[in-house]
Amino acid sequence: MSFVVGVAPVAVAAAFLLAGPETAVAGSAPTLTVPGGPASTKVELDNKALTVVRIRLAPHEKTPMHDLTARLVVWLSDADLRDTFADGHSDELRRSAGAIDWVPAERHAGENLTDRPIEFLAIIPKPE
């Protein structure tokens, strides 16, 4: 699957999160428990327009098949991931810290292929 960032098509980014995070209390940063998602997630911002979630994948962490909504992903660290989709095909994805991707709604599973943690922000727009 490909999508457009700027004008260049790129492989779909892995954003390991469920369809919609819990509502955060203003001034707090709750940790989310995401069925099928990564073990380490934290709401950084939640307002009427969007939710920003910090996601950390431990070295070689795998996430089972799960659904997610469309979102912008900002990579905070270098990443080497395997993204496996509901139809069984998989893509390997390499990103550098600072890269930004748009990820469409999809069902997928993911795996951190490195010996180091991967961290990124998922910026999830809310319906108007």
What is the per-residue pLDDT for 11? Answer: 26
Residue 13 CB contacts under 8 Å (≥ 6 apart), including other chains: 73, 75, 83, 93, 95, 101, 103
Nearest to 13 by CA among 125, 123, 126, 128: 123
Digit-by-digit pLDDT tens for the chain (128 residues) are: 333 333 222 223 333 333 343 333 334 444 444 455 666 899 999 999 999 999 999 999 999 999 989 999 999 999 999 999 999 999 999 999 999 999 999 999 999 999 999 999 999 999 98
Residue type, 34: V
What is the per-residue pLDDT for 12? Answer: 30
pTM over 0.95: no
What is the per-residue pLDDT for 128? Answer: 84
What the chain holds in terms of domains, given with CATH numbers, is 30-125 (2.60.120.10)
Strands 50-57 and 62-68: unpaired
What is the per-residue pLDDT for 7? Answer: 25
DSSP secondary structure, 49-118, as one string: SEEEEEEEE-TT-EEEEEEE--EEEEESS-EEEEEEETTS-EEEEEE-TT-EEEE-SEEEEEEE-SSS-E
What is the per-residue pLDDT for 37? Answer: 61
